[in-house]
Amino acid sequence: MKGDAFKSATVIKVLAFALLSIAFFYFGKHWSDGSQQLVFFNSRQDSASLTNPTNPSSQFVSISPNFNKSFDLSSIINDTTVSDKPLEKTPSVEVVLSPPPPPPSPPPAVQKMGVLDENGVMNDDFEVGEFDPEVVDNWGVGNETDVEEGDGVKRFRVKKFGLCPDSMREYIPCLDNVEAISKLKSTERGEKFERHCPEKGKGLNCLVPPPRGYRAPITWPKSRDEVWFSNVPHARLAEDKGGQNWILIDKDKFKFPGGGTQFIHGADQYLDQIEKMLPEIAFGRHVRVALDIGCGVASFGAYLLSRNVLTLSVAPKDVHENQIQFALERGVPAMVAAIATHRLLYPSQAFELIHCSRCRINWTRDDGILLLEVNRLLRAGGYFVWAAQPVYKHEAALEEQWEEMVNLTTRLCWNLVKKEGYIAIWQKPLNNSCYLSREEGTQPPLCDPHDDPDDVWYVDLKACITRLPEEGYGANITTWPSRLQYPPDRLQSIQVDSYLSRKELFNAESKFWKEIIESYVRAWHWKKLKLRNVMDMRAGFGGFAAAMIENQLDCWVLNVVSVSGKNTLPVIFDRGLLGVMHDWCEPFDTYPRTYDLLHANGLFSIEQKRCNMSTIMLEMDRILRPGGRAYIRDSVAVMDELQDIGKAMGWHVTVRDTSEGPHASYKILTGDKHLLRA
């Protein structure tokens, strides 16, 4: 019984194994012959399937991607070797190779249209771009002034400013006021060349456009000798002065050979002659700051720069109206100014040397009132250099002019120290002793003791001799370069409301700007910016300009002292720097597009009480070159409005924290001006 039971169990196991084998064979054959397809269940359920599971469209079963396809599994599994032969088609399998994906397209070429490159780093070779007349037509269209209200505070969004007409490309508001000039009672003393600013509400309210074809200016020092014709497209000066070696046109450039009416053989030779005549002049050491009146294209000042002398070149906007524009395009310090009926906007004892070469000024008219203005500006012991026909020509009329000049300068106590060829050099006295020893009734008289010789804003010329300070202020300055950081004696004449001494304030300002400029040079790569013409719009004691020199930035700075603050101009000149008095509620006397950098520290928070901030910003845009930039360091309270105005003028505006951090009361706004284009 036991053997039968064992046999029956073995038979059953064999039968079961056989049945399983037949079943697997059958199912394998059945599923591989293409008559059945696999299905997969989708794990995602949409809302329709949940709400209506019986709806066929809501079923979440998806068909295999191999539906209706046949494969030779064995050939696919066994073919594991790589063959160089192309794949052959089989009756049951069609293999299609997808083409390789195309390589990624290269990034678009970066067009260097601004001062930043593709990495946000300052460019040296930026392009300004061509002038686009379509943008001129459409600039400012479709932009309105918005008023936002929130938390009980109203904020005004500034409307985008439109472009001025083409006729205003060289517009200087206070010197091109035709309406005011036409109403002058007299113009015989040069009144039409002085400031006549537009009335309130009639000022500049648009963006002065550049000439067509305007290009990024040639950089210094190459610009001393050549500039683009398209940037100052006026040929009259070259036509009038072509034979005097001033300026000539060469293809697409103006060239400046370095000559002048009285020094056609070149400014360098002329300067050598002056220094040989009077070695005490010592350019760059004793003479540091000079004034060139009737400067032409400013070659005198341009060549003195290489001798460490800062020369301010001035000339009126007369028949040769673009001479100052040429000077500034060259990168030479210059201002539009006329010595006519008002004091020039510089303090007493500002210049160690004043130069006039055929400047077409009648120095002896009206009791010598014009030469008396030169006397006010000339430092005690300073020199007046006159190169003109009366010095050397022996004609009756010219000899008479020379005698009148000698007589006037003698009564002014000037000493004719040298006369050679066509150059005469006088020296101003060091103190008042000569003035006080003149015979009673000698003309011109001394000015009233209460007359402030540094009061210059719209002050009439006076036919009197400016007294020198009894303390010797202005006469006893140190030599260059030590005078840059040495607190001058005229600090004591500045009225300052402070418990600190003036010398402490002077030294503190110098230290402050030294640290700030060093940080600007490091963080913003100022040495790569090719800055040349720079203006400090609220200069104080000139610490910003001094720091620029100490950081060896190859630029010159015009320090502007506002009429609304303390008159620190005498200190600025005593340091060996250039400066001018100005009221920022009025336009500045320079051509459009003449500065590479405008710097304003605390200007707007002070002047907003007196004038509209957009008035100052529009003037900044007028005098700033395309590709130039503005640095405005001011209180947080004015930053939003300044940012809106900057954007409305088309500037690229950025507001940054100062070194004191994000919670400081001051911020820094940088504005990059670009040429307007689509």
Residue whose C-alpha is closest to residue 351's, from 406, 404, 313, 401: 313
Please tell me the predicted confidence (pLDDT) of residue 493. Answer: 86
φ, ψ at 318 (rounded to 5°): -110, -145
Percent of the chain clearing pLDDT 90 (strictly above): 66
CA dihedral 323, 328, 333, 335 (to 10 degrees): 50
Q: Write down the mean pLDDT value for the chain.
A: 83
Site of tokens 């009673």? 440
Please tell me the predicted confidence (pLDDT) of residue 287. Answer: 97
Sign of the C-alpha dihedral, residues 607, 613, 615, 619? positive
Rounded CA-CA distance 113/302 in Å is 30
Higher pLDDT, 408 or 99: 408
Per the document, the length of the chain is 678
Please tell me the predicted confidence (pLDDT) of residue 156. Answer: 54
Rounded CA-CA distance 461/376 in Å is 10
Contacts of 265 (CB under 8 A, 6+ apart): 245, 259
φ, ψ at 292 (rounded to 5°): -110, 110
Where do the CATH 3.40.50.150 domains begin and end in the chain? 259-437, 501-673
Rounded CA-CA distance 466/348 in Å is 8
- Does pTM surpass 0.85? no
Please tell me the predicted confidence (pLDDT) of residue 379. Answer: 98
φ, ψ at 61 (rounded to 5°): -110, 130
For residue 486, the SS3 value is: coil
Q: Tell me the per-residue pLDDT of 129-176, one tens digit each, with 9 for 90 and over.
A: 444 444 443 444 333 344 454 555 445 567 899 999 999 999 999 999
For residue 388, the SS3 value is: coil
Query: Which tokens belong to 393?
Result: 């020509």
- Print the SS3 string covering 426-471: EECCCCCHHHHCCCCCCCCCECCCCCCCCCCCCCECCCCECCCCCC
Q: Above 50 in pLDDT, residue 194? A: yes
CA 613 to chain centre: 18
Average pLDDT over residues 34-58: 41
> Is the bond into 481 cis (omega within 30 degrees of 0)?
yes
* Single-letter residue type at 158: V
Give residue 668's pLDDT band: very low, low, confident or very high (50, 70, 90): very high
Query: Which tokens belong to 86?
Result: 């192309």
Site of tokens 């001033």? 246
Please tell me the predicted confidence (pLDDT) of residue 237. Answer: 80
Rounded CA-CA distance 190/317 in Å is 11
Please tell me the predicted confidence (pLDDT) of residue 320. Answer: 76
Average pLDDT over residues 256-283: 91
Higher pLDDT, 594 or 69: 594
CA distances from 385 to 245, 416, 475, 593 (A): 21, 10, 19, 32
Please tell me the predicted confidence (pLDDT) of residue 520. Answer: 92
Average pLDDT over residues 303-323: 92
Give residue 63's pLDDT band: very low, low, confident or very high (50, 70, 90): very low
Give residue 27's pLDDT band: very low, low, confident or very high (50, 70, 90): low
Rounded CA-CA distance 71/527 in Å is 72
Please tell me the predicted confidence (pLDDT) of residue 192. Answer: 95
Inter-helix orientation angle 365-377/396-411, to 10° = 50
Q: Which of 103-107, 246-250, 362-366 has the highest mean pLDDT?
A: 362-366
Q: Above 60 in pLDDT, residue 26? A: no
Rounded CA-CA distance 506/467 in Å is 26
Per-position DSSP letters for 569-590, written without gaps between them: HHHHHHTT-EEEEE-TTS--SS
As beta bridge partners, residue 418 has 425
Query: Which tokens belong to 57?
Result: 């469209």
Please tell me the predicted confidence (pLDDT) of residue 157. Answer: 67
Rg (CA), the chain: 40
Report the number of secondary-structure helices (H) and strands (E) in the chain: 19, 21
Please tell me the predicted confidence (pLDDT) of residue 23. Answer: 62
Please tell me the predicted confidence (pLDDT) of residue 395. Answer: 95
Residue whose C-alpha is closest to residue 512's, from 662, 676, 658, 671: 658
Q: Above 90 in pLDDT, residue 109? A: no
Rounded CA-CA distance 563/629 in Å is 25
Query: Which tokens belong to 203?
Result: 């000022």
Rounded CA-CA distance 601/595 in Å is 17
Per CATH, the number for 501-673 is 3.40.50.150
Please tell me the predicted confidence (pLDDT) of residue 528. Answer: 87
For residue 378, the SS3 value is: strand
CA angle (326, 327, 331) in 5-degree steps: 115
Give residue 455's pLDDT band: very low, low, confident or very high (50, 70, 90): very high
Q: Above 90 in pLDDT, residue 599? A: yes
Please tell me the predicted confidence (pLDDT) of residue 303. Answer: 96
> Is the bond into 449 cis (omega within 30 degrees of 0)?
no
Average pLDDT over residues 584-596: 97
Q: Tell me the per-residue pLDDT of 547-572, one tens digit each, with 9 for 90 and over.
A: 999 999 999 999 999 999 999 999 99
Please tell me the predicted confidence (pLDDT) of residue 28. Answer: 52
Compute how many other C-beta atoms are within 10 angstroms of the C-beta atom of residue 277.
17
CATH 3.30.420.40 fits 259-437, yes or no: no
Contact of 237 with 249, CB cutoff 8 Å = no
What is the enclosing helix (H) or strand (E) of 516?
helix 502-524
Rounded CA-CA distance 470/140 in Å is 59
Please tell me the predicted confidence (pLDDT) of residue 151. Answer: 53
